[in-house]
Amino acid sequence: MNYEIVCGIETHIELATKTKIFCGCTTEFGGEPNTHCCPVCTGQPGSLPILNQKVVEYAVKAGLALNCKINTRSHMDRKNYVYPDLPKAYQISQYDEPLCEKGYIELDSGKRIGITRIHIEEDAGKLVHENGYTYIDYNRSGVPLIEIVSEPDISSAEEAKEYAEKLQLTMRYIGISDCKMQEGSMRCDVNLSLRKPGDTKFGVRTEIKNINSLSFIQKAIVAEAERQADILEAGGTIVQQTMRYDEKTDSVAPMRDKENSDDYRYFPDPDILRFSIDEEKVEEIRASLPELPFDKLKRYMNVLGLPEATAKLIFRYRKVAEFFQGALAEGASVKNAANLIVGAIFSNMDTEEEKELFDIRISAAQFAALVKLADEKKINIGVAQGTLQKMLESGKPAEEFIKPEDLAGISDETLERLCREAIDANPRAADDVRSGKDKAINVMFGYIMKKTGGKADIRKAEALLRKLIGS
Amino acid sequence: MRAGISELAARLRNREISSVELTKAYIDAIEKLNPTLNIYVYLTFDTALKAAEKADQMLDEGDAPLICGIPMALKDNICTDGLPTTCCSRILKGFKPYYDATVWEKLKKQGAVLLGKANMDEFAMGNTSETSCYGAPLNPRNTNYVTGGSSGGSAAAVCANLAVYSLGSDTGGSIRLPASFCGVVGLKPTYGAVSRYGLIAYGSSLDQIGPLTNSVKDAAIVFDAIKGGDRRDQTSVDHDYGSSLAECLERDVKGMRIGVAEEFFDGINPEIKSSIDEAIKLFERNGAIIENISLPALKLALPVYYIIACAEASSNLGRYDGIRYGHRASSYTSIDDMITKTRSEGFGDEVKRRIMLGTYVLSSGYYDAYYKKACLIREEINREFDAVFEKCDVLIAPTAPNTAFPLNYKGASPVEMYLADICTVPVNIAGIPAISIPCGEDSRGLPIGMQIIGRRFGEATVLQAAHFYEQSAGKVIDDYEGGAVI
């Protein structure tokens, strides 16, 4: 029998604030164990938390980017549970008054996946098992997180992956997190149940915890859906439990649960006052948001006319997109600028990270100057690519590498001779041009460019050809 | 009559005595009396003498603050960098914080001389100081009786003149009740008036640090020295009191509107009631207007207090797991076993009782019936106080329904003991200030305490009324046999 997947995703994202959520300690990754700590983030007796306003701002940014309603009044709650990595035996989080609610992410298909809520909370420390002992590193304790909870609107593994990818890209774009799943700055928990098509009631769900890559989200859902379907087919029932996805065996298995019940005894944290964000501040944050990635993608395709493949390669890295747009602002053509970025600059960048960082030695203006030479046909694309590589290596402008003869090109006499040759070699094309099939002239351009190694001035050649053909 | 802070300050300034000499006098007295009275649980004589030397230098340089060079005590739940701070609990035995509480940081800067850490009920839970893991301090007025609690050591230290003043903390009456039992002055400031940073939490929305002193003026001086907003405590408020409260204590009570709520007098020992009635008459004779008022929600204050305080405590005390500091069980089979054993061994019965109560009232299924309802009633209590303070400047009430209990009073059930807090908890619930001042003695010679309660940040009026009563009734604290001789 076929089953329908009902899936929701909870995503934890570490915010890239400089300091922790309740104290002045650095959030920097790494560091010797327990060196990014103070009385507050290690829960020393008598210490008190002070809410970092940047965390609230970042969360509001996330909410606005995900089309959420912002609750201008909010408060922090204590979530009580005992685990050695949680120094106060409670996590300061938000329970019944999250900062953001009721947003969505739109998939390519146009389907919207609802965002139930976004709330802020603190991360816990980390247990390190070594030589038969367990050590605790509290460097991550108190690092700010947002938890983004989706509605159970996701109905396939592909949709889940697309949702997570769009979420990741959007959060990176607005600069609140690097969302590195391998390093744990973005972690996904997937809730999944099956039901018969047409059923309105949800089945019993399981939760797959801490998935650390986009493709594992997809694989874990496929594996868990299969596991649940097998059980249901055999007449069994699904047990509500926490699962773990094992990438080595591509399978899902129940996790050994932390030994505590689900009763977190939430209550408002008396140490942190209720807080409010005024409408003005929300609007200020809204105004500070960059063009969001998927709006940009649409614009690249629909307004700039970039082919989908090229547009998708450029929009996803905020710095690349900024560089591209910077070049356009300097007068570079869309097509040449895009092709040079994707064809030449990206050839030096193997990893996603390098593209994300986009650490290059030339400015958008220098790049635009080069693109314009190609736009004006003063140099051909081949020369432009070669020159660009030299510019990237040296950080020097195009003039340093393009020789006067490259620009001067071919003498008028030579060009005229070549034009005659081109017509003689392609009599049918010449006839076509004469009878108004203008595109046929490209055949002769091709001949001339080949003979000159791309150095001919194509506009001059066109004028000459038309004169000689008599069109 | 003993010297107050301003008199000692004057003597220190005219070189009649040095801070080191003053400190030594207190050290001698402590050495004599503390083995019996069990007031201090940790003595800091070495650091005290060094601090005294430094204070003398500050005094030499001139322009030293009023409290400079004056020996004092801190309740054992106020963090002191490098010195044990244990909340008188086995679970924190040996714990030395590596940071100062804001109040101690402030006092230290002003040249305060710390003699030691004062005994208290374990984690401030109790009203006799008998839940201390170090054993109860004895009431210096009569050693067969308790000091009251939870700041019993802090009150007794002042009473026996083993400190000029002390700091305590008050969650449901823990400054005022022992002040009343020991016959000293105890001020619970407005919630937020004094930073809680470094005060080991019991009930975070109720806890407040305040002074225990020999006189209202001293209370005002110490309050001046510790009050103010703190960027490390979000719940603290930088209220503008206008000027030093100690400098504007003199006030005619003519026209002062004093509220008397019958609810505060339900079930009060008749001797106490008549003492308070006398005091009210004294105010009236001097032109104060007595308003009979009613605070019906007060009947619910005690259960509301125990629900909220225990709920917060159950969460605040979760961190004592033996992992990072304090006591750890010596043998265990797993991390969970370690935590369970550590807590079973480390906490006393009263603390366990309150953790269980608090855990229960926050559990799903009970939250609405207990914690949430308590919060709603808390709002109602606040509204009633707000309304009362529309027509009254201060309220007068007994501090406790009885004078000090005998030590090891076995007749009482825990709930009966909780009743001793009935007059003090409403003030914490509402976050308003109140002072307890001596108001006579009962037939056994045990001190009676009177409470003067004010509106939020109304400390000035509370202190003025208390100072007026103290001066006109002549209720001054006599020397204590064996206490420091200066």
pLDDT of A390? 81
Q: Please, where are the H alpha helices in A71-156?
A: none
Distance to chain B for A142, nearest Cα, Å: 15
Any idea which residues of B carry the catalytic annotation? 75, 150, 174
Torsion sign (Cα): B66, B69, B70, B73: positive
- Put simply, whether B455 touches A (Cβ < 8 Å) is no
pLDDT of residue A399: 76
Alpha-carbon distance A17 to nearest alpha carbon in chain B (angstroms): 19
Put simply, the answer to whether B321 touches A44 (Cβ < 8 Å) is no
CATH for A412-469?
1.10.10.410
The answer to whether the CB atoms of B362 and A80 lie below 8 A apart is: yes
pLDDT tier for residue A259 given thresholds of 50, 70 and 90: very low
Contact check, Cβ <8 Å, A46/B363: no
- Biggest alpha carbon–alpha carbon distance for chain A: 94
For the ranges A167-171, A400-404, B155-159, B195-199, the lowest mean pLDDT is seen at A400-404
Give pLDDT < 50 ranges for chain B.
none
Grade residue A260 by pLDDT with cuts at 50, 70 and 90: very low
Report yes or no: A186 and A12 within 8 Å, Cβ to Cβ.
yes
CB A259 to CB B363 under 8 A?
A: no
Question: Could you give the CA distance from residue B72 to residue B26 in angstroms, rounded to a whole number?
Answer: 9
Q: What is the mean pLDDT of residues A42-46?
A: 96
pLDDT at residue A373, rounded to an integer: 81
At A133, which helix (H) or strand (E)?
strand A133-137
Contact call for residues B141 and B183 (beta carbons, < 8 A): yes
- pLDDT of A422 strictly over 80: yes
Question: What pTM does this model have?
Answer: 0.89
A63-119: pLDDT as tens digits? 999 999 999 999 999 999 999 999 999 999 999 999 999 999 999 999 999 999 999
Please count the residue pairs, one from chain A and one from chain B, whose beta carbons lie less than 8 angstroms apart. Answer: 98
Contact status of B331 with chain A (Cβ, < 8 Å): no
Which pLDDT does position A447 carry in this prediction? 86
User: Is pLDDT of A186 > 50?
Assistant: yes
Q: Give the pair of three-digit tokens for residue B416.
A: 């009966």
- The ipTM assigned to this model is 0.95
- Of the pLDDT bands very low, low, confident and very high (cuts 50, 70, 90), residue A286 is very high
* Contact between B308 and B375 (Cβ < 8 Å): yes
Instruction: Read off the pLDDT band of A200 (50, 70, 90).
Output: confident
Distance CA A75, CA A93 (A): 9
What pLDDT sits at residue B382? 97
* Structural domain spans, chain A: 4-282, 291-408, 412-469
Q: What is the end-to-end Cα distance of chain A in Å, rounded?
A: 69
What gap in Å lies between CA B45 and CA B196, rounded to an integer?
26
Q: Which of A15-19, A379-383, B132-136, B181-185 has the lowest mean pLDDT?
A: A379-383
Contact B196 A48 (CB under 8 A): yes
State pLDDT tens for residues A316-342.
888 899 999 988 888 888 888 888 888
Residues of A within an 8 Å Cβ radius of B: 39, 42-51, 78, 80, 82, 84, 87-90, 134, 136, 259, 263, 265-267, 270-273
Whether residue A343 is predicted with pLDDT greater than 90 in this model: the reply is no
pLDDT of A163 over the 90 cut? yes
In chain A, which residues have their Cβ closer than 8 Å to the Cβ of B74?
Answer: none
Q: What is the pLDDT of residues B305-326, one digit of tens each?
A: 999 999 999 999 999 999 999 9
For residue B124, the 8-state DSSP code is G
Residue A107 has a pLDDT of 94
Q: Where are the domains of chain B?
A: 1-486
Q: How many CB atoms lie under 10 A from the CB of residue A440?
A: 19
Q: Which CATH class is domain B1-486?
A: alpha beta
Nearest CA of chain A to the CA of B362: how many Å?
Answer: 5
Bridge-partner residues for A268, per DSSP?
Answer: A77
Selecting from A39, A42, A270 the residue whose C-beta is nearest the C-beta of B205 gives: A270
Sheet holding A267-268, edge to edge: A90-93, A77-80, A267-268
Contact B461, B393 (CB under 8 A): yes
Q: Check CB contact under 8 Å for A47 and B99.
A: yes
